[in-house]
């Protein structure tokens, strides 16, 4: 049986992700239809997976539930429009790949993202964090934390690991936002973002930028991640240009909006919960757990899709070969069967087995980086932050895929 129309409509309404209605729909689904079937106009039929245990179970079985052929929820019209806008060029990244290809390409850079390697970048990241904190201090006690801090700092970190010059930040910001930036709910026309010319040009500009980077790093390799990608070989051959491009693009985009959203979410939650802020300031060892809680609470990646390769069963319910499944991480992370008082932001939540980074073979490659950069930012900020509160209404972006705060006005006292 299909899920009721009001729940179906909420699931595919990007405004529901902005005004929070999505959480009521998730709650209803967890309680009443945790693997419900959705038949929404314009979309292929899909199953919506809302319980923590089921998201974990499906994610860990990568042969039974593949990422191909379509790993993000789009309407058929959106798929066609995207293809048209890219002139028929399909850039493939890790997230669209399955075994055996996926393992080969993931192994290429996996060592780079391990904590031991990231440690070598810590000084540079700390320098960027200090600058962000100084900028906050210089703002005279008020700022829009998202637009002045949370949007820039993670991008500068990603650019540092790729080895891109800092002066390219405005261009990269324009390109990553043009390609993947989530919509402002106030800009929607009939519930959808207006078509943007810059979307069309962003992909080509980004491709030209990264092609030049590949040429440069092949001629003059350095120790950065771009050099590793540009000079990588599979079966003794350089990887093809579109896959090389897919790698740069996934690093530049997956590493940006996600971490911006969880960083903004952390500040939002602290500004709303002075008791939690006081606890944190009294015991800096809680910064790590606070970061985990902010990532759970914001769950910036709302879903990825999987396709069943065989008839099977999950949690006693039949799944048919070909079923397209929406893994709702943000629902799993508010599952009352897993988390006590799941809507509350508790910096010392223990245990905190959230699934915001996914699970199984596609588990977020950048999770250690995301944790490290958020931790360093708050390590630098908290000793200087005496108090913080909201200074107006925050605003969440409107998107079914990656979303988070796009405006966060705060008022604060810093030393």
We find the least distance from the C-beta atom of residue 362 to ligand HEM, in angstroms, to be 3
Nearest to 174 by CA among 231, 243, 232, 252: 252
Which member of 8, 92, 362, 395 binds ligand HEM (CB under 6 A)? 362
> Cα(76)–Cα(29) distance, rounded to whole angstroms?
25
Question: Which one among 68, 238, 360, 409 touches ligand HEM, defined by CB under 6 A?
Answer: 360
H or E element in which residue 124 lies? helix 122-138
Q: Is residue 95 near ligand HEM by the rule CB under 6 A? A: yes
Tell whether residue 255 is a contact of ligand HEM (CB under 6 A). yes
Q: Which is nearer to ligand HEM, 4 or 360 (CB)?
A: 360
139-178 residues near ligand HEM, rule: CB under 6 A: none
Cα–Cα distance, 180 to 200 (Å, whole number): 12
x/- track of binding to ligand HEM for residues 316-355 (CB under 6 A): -------------x--------------------------
Span between the terminal Cα atoms of the chain, in Å: 59
388 lies in the site for ligand HEM, by CB under 6 A: no
Can you tell me the distance from the alpha carbon of 38 to that of 3, in angstroms, rounded to the nearest whole number? Answer: 6
Among 322, 363, 389, 413, binds ligand HEM (CB under 6 A): 363
Does position 104 interact with ligand HEM (CB under 6 A)? The reply is no
405 closest CA partner among 415, 393, 396 = 396
Return the closest-CA partner of residue 180 out of 172, 168, 191, 188: 172
Buried b (16+ CB within 10 A) or exposed e, 58-74: bbebbebbbbbeebbbb
34: contact with ligand HEM by CB under 6 A: no
Nearer to ligand HEM, 8 or 96 (CB): 96
Closest CA to 273 of 262, 285, 261, 281: 281
Q: How far apart are CA 88 and CA 83, in angstroms?
A: 5
Interface region with ligand HEM, contact rule CB under 6 A, candidates 40-48, 115-123, 309-317, 363-371: 363-371
CA distance 248 to 227: 11
- Bridge partner list, 327: 49, 304
**From candidates 176, 262, 333, 400, binder to ligand HEM by CB under 6 A:** 262
Is 366 one of the binding residues for ligand HEM (CB under 6 A)? yes
Residue 403 makes contact with ligand HEM by CB under 6 A? no
User: What track of x and - describes contact with ligand HEM for positions 276 through 305 (by CB under 6 A)?
Assistant: -------------------x----xx--x-
Query: Which has the closest alpha carbon to 22: 185, 181, 147, 150?
Result: 185
376 is an interface residue for ligand HEM by CB under 6 A: no
Taking the C-alpha atoms of residue 127 and residue 115, their distance in angstroms, rounded to an integer, is 18
**Residue 208 lies near ligand HEM (rule: CB under 6 A):** no
**Is the previous residue joined to 178 through a cis bond, with omega within 30 degrees of 0?**
no
Instruction: Pick from 50, 176, 259, 397 the residue near ligand HEM by CB under 6 A.
Output: 259
Position 258 contacts ligand HEM (CB under 6 A): yes
Min dist CB 85 to ligand HEM, Å, is 23
- The dihedrals phi and psi of 170, each to the nearest 5 degrees, come to -60, -40
- Is residue 356 near ligand HEM by the rule CB under 6 A? yes
Q: Of 367, 291, 298, 368, nearest to 333 (Cα)?
A: 298
Residue 158 and residue 252 in contact, taking contact as beta carbons nearer than 8 Å: yes
The nearer residue to ligand HEM, 130 or 375, going by C-beta atoms, is: 375
Q: Which stretch binds ligand HEM (CB under 6 A): 226-234, 255-263, 344-352, 381-389?
A: 255-263
357 lies in the site for ligand HEM, by CB under 6 A = yes
C-beta of 185 vs 255, nearer to ligand HEM: 255
CB of 151 to ligand HEM, least distance (A): 14
Give the interface with ligand HEM as residue ranges (CB under 6 A).
59, 94-95, 106, 250-251, 254-255, 258-259, 262, 295, 300-301, 304, 329, 356-360, 362-366, 369-370
């Amino acid at each position: 049986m299909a899920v009721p129309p009001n729940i179906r409509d909420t699931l595919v309404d990007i405004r529901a992700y902005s005004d929070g209605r999505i959480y009521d729909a998730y709650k209803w689904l967890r309680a009443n239809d945790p693997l419900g079937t959705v038949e929404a106009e314009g979309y292929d039929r899909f199953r919506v997976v809302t319980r923590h245990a089921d998201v974990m179970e499906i994610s860990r079985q990568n042969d039974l539930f593949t990422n191909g052929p379509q790993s993000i929820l789009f309407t058929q019209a959106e798929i066609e429009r995207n293809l048209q806008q890219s002139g028929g060029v399909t850039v493939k990244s890790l997230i669209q790949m399955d075994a055996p290809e996926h393992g080969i390409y993931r192994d290429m850079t996996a060592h780079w993202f391990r904590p031991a390697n990231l440690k070598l970048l810590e000084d540079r990241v700390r320098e960027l964090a200090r600058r962000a904190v100084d900028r906050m201090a210089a703002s005279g006690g008020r700022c829009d934390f998202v637009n002045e801090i949370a949007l820039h700092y993670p991008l500068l970190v990603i650019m540092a690991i790729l080895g891109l010059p800092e002066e390219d930040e405005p261009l990269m910001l324009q390109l990553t936002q043009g390609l993947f930036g989530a919509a402002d709910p106030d800009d929607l026309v009939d519930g959808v973002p207006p078509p943007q010319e810059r979307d069309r040009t962003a992909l080509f500009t980004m491709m030209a930028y990264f092609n030049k980077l590949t040429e440069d790093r092949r001629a003059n390799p350095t120790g950065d991640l771009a050099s590793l990608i540009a000079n990588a070989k599979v079966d003794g051959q350089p990887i093809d240009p579109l896959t090389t491009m897919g790698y740069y693009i996934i690093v530049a985009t997956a590493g940006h909006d996600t971490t911006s959203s969880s960083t903004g979410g952390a500040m939002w939650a602290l500004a709303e919960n002075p008791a939690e802020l006081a606890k944190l300031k009294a015991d800096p060892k809680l910064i790590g757990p606070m970061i985990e809680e902010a990532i759970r609470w914001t769950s910036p990646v709302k879903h990825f899709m999987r396709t069943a390769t065989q008839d099977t069963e999950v949690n006693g319910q039949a799944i048919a070969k070909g079923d397209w499944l929406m893994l709702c991480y943000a629902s799993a992370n508010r599952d009352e069967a897993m988390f006590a008082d799941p809507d509350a932001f508790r910096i010392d939540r223990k245990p905190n087995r959230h699934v915001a980074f996914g699970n199984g073979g596609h588990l977020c490659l950048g999770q250690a980086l995301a944790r490290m950069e958020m931790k360093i930012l708050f390590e630098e900020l908290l000793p200087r932050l005496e108090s913080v509160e909201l200074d107006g209404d925050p605003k969440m972006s409107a998107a079914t895929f990656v979303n988070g705060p796009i405006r966060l006005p705060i008022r604060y006292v810093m030393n």
